[in-house]
Structure 1
């Protein structure tokens, strides 16, 4: 597929690769207090090396506010703002997280998108007012607003906050999800169109966004190779010690809209002498999966990001058994870089976004082929292949991605 978005001329912008002395406000789908990694958190952390960054946690909605059961992070947000209102908390030098106090209405159930937009404007006004209080408290001026894929909460923020530059970061095809698609089919194209700049983590998304905004750029994807490091001596996680080898492992959210349970079932049946280990939180739609009935499939639950390398290190083969749909087609699979950075053999579903990984992974087109490729991955693995995987993953750094982002922002601010 021909990439239609404009390229950044690296020779011309070599002196612009570092963004310095700016005040940046980051909004997005994932709060800072969630103990899982995210592109946005990595980007924000690196931007804070030379700029001041306010990382805004998403506002609590009415449904969450009145719920009697809240997860740990949300409970923290709830307790803080209930006690003292808006809360700014320092993360590190030049970087703060913000807990907005306003409660937004839960309106995604509305059948009419036009009605949704009107009430969403009220929600955005509440959110923007909170953000303005944090901006004032920190003394931020001429802010750059970076929106990490938050279509609803970020829809009117350009108009309400009047940033010097509004950057929309597209890293997921939210229109493919049941929750989002009702209103996203209208709102995301409109949001992309009105953004000053759009950046993406996959070429597929850059092409998608360029149909609505010519100022759409692919900035690549980073991987924390210092954390996922094959040279580190890892202790065996306690909950793996009693699981016999060989271990076929997956790390990440368990979600029926993303993972193909037929592939995982086929692996469990074909390799009855092996154990499949799934590390990550389960979405509600996965809790009722038939995979819970297999004795050689183990669900180890959510782990902190810092714990994941020890699990990956213990796997004989790493897998990413994605279902093929609009969501996964162009989605950059960060976990593949993390697996490869550890030198691991990887078997994955063949998607548009996986094409660049083909020389270093085993790509499958069916559940049966996926199971067969695991055997190939086990038997072919050697030191030469492990080294090649590590070198390839090492070329995908957050430093390079943020350099591209910085060059683009500098270009549009000049």
Structure 2
């Protein structure tokens, strides 16, 4: 019996972030879908523009290395494909030639896997360039962000691609109600698909890493990409007002953090693997999700909220529409000036089991069941 109860298998061509680079929601889903269905995962170019900085340089080198070995098997009937892709899309002649060449390479990879009538699944709107070119049986758009609001991207082109892909999709999954509302159309079935959580991974107790033992308590923690959407000014203010509280930052740095460097109670530990992460998180006393308040964050559905709750420690987060339903177990703040008080209250909240129980049933497996039911309804059974 397949994932979600389907006996017959589907074939998927997936356009998304680079496989294995970070634990995205799409990767969590296809780690489970891929065990029962055929998957060709296409590593794509991001939506942000190219910048002359160290972060972009190292990402570029990662891409070039992946192009040297474009086809990689990661499971039975599960391959990662890294075609040479440039940051061009749309209607220009260079984009058209590029689209044709990449399309040929993807179709060749599909033939190697014996794929016919695959489902084109994408998390990136620019994959609209390949709709109708791969012999797909249908199109699924998995919307996890308001992409045109990402910093550094060509907003006008992304808006057009997003609108066109929405119109051409047969099935749309959205991680938040805001995104669900903005991606409805008469043709496609639209389904709310909140992020899930690997509950056992985050709730199982693990030994404290040696690296944490030198950091006094209490410890508050942010984990994830440290970039423009994190309110670093707010974190600096907190660190100065509460010098006895240690702020632990876990994740890659993608922006200027000089305002926090040098503060005695701020600790940058760098990126940790998905396997390492639970041990670090269990050594914290409170988690913080201090996004800036803008249109992008208001439409988002933070993946890490359920992971924090599975650990069982208190959580303080910027109040956004998608988190309103967690108000009973997450300390939400609307104004920046309320952040310090929210953290103070959270540090005294010992409801570990209540927080864990809140997300125990919201697993990635349950989300895959939702996906398979919707696919069967819209596209019929697998091949």
State TM-score, norm by structure 2: 0.90
Q: Equivalent residue of 2:183, what SS?
A: helix
- Structure 2 distance, partners of 1:49, 1:20, is 13
Write out the 4+ residue segments of structure 1 that deviate beyond 3 Å after TM superposition: 15-20, 67-77, 79-82, 211-214
**Residue equivalent to 2:149:** 176
- Structure 1 distance, partners of 2:172, 2:356, is 30
Q: What is the Cα-based RMSD across aligned positions, in Å? A: 2.7
- Structure 1 distance, partners of 2:55, 2:262, is 27
**1:18–1:403 contact (8 Å) kept in structure 2:** no
For structure 1, the 5+ residue unaligned runs are 1-14
- Structure 1 distance, partners of 2:347, 2:339, is 13
Q: Equivalent residue of 1:163, what SS?
A: coil
Q: What do the CA deviations read for 1:49-97 (whole angstroms, capped 9, x no partner)? A: 2211111112599x98xx9998778646534644x6xx32211223221
The offset of 1:386, in angstroms, is 0.9
Matched, 1:126 2:97: no
- Structure 2 distance, partners of 1:186, 1:92, is 35
Aligned length: 375
**Residue equivalent to 2:180:** 206
Q: What do the CA deviations read for 1:2-37 (whole angstroms, capped 9, x no partner)? A: xxxxxxxxxxxxx97537312111111x11131x21
Q: Equivalent residue of 1:395, what SS?
A: coil
Q: Equivalent residue of 1:179, what SS?
A: coil
From the superposition, tell whether residues 190 and 340 of structure 1 become closer, same or farther in structure 2 (CA, over 3 Å): same
Pick one of 25, 32, 52 that aligns with 2:19: 32
**Residue equivalent to 2:37:** 51
- Structure 2 distance, partners of 1:287, 1:144, is 40
- Structure 2 distance, partners of 1:368, 1:237, is 33
- Structure 2 distance, partners of 1:319, 1:71, is 30
Structure with higher helix content: 1
- Structure 1 distance, partners of 2:186, 2:284, is 42
From the superposition, tell whether residues 264 and 89 of structure 1 become closer, same or farther in structure 2 (CA, over 3 Å): same
**Residue equivalent to 1:217:** 191
State TM-score, norm by structure 1: 0.83
The offset of 1:236, in angstroms, is 2.0
Q: Equivalent residue of 2:247, what SS?
A: strand
**2:40–2:81 contact (8 Å) kept in structure 1:** yes
- Structure 2 distance, partners of 1:27, 1:241, is 41
- Structure 1 distance, partners of 2:172, 2:366, is 17
For structure 2, the 5+ residue unaligned runs are none
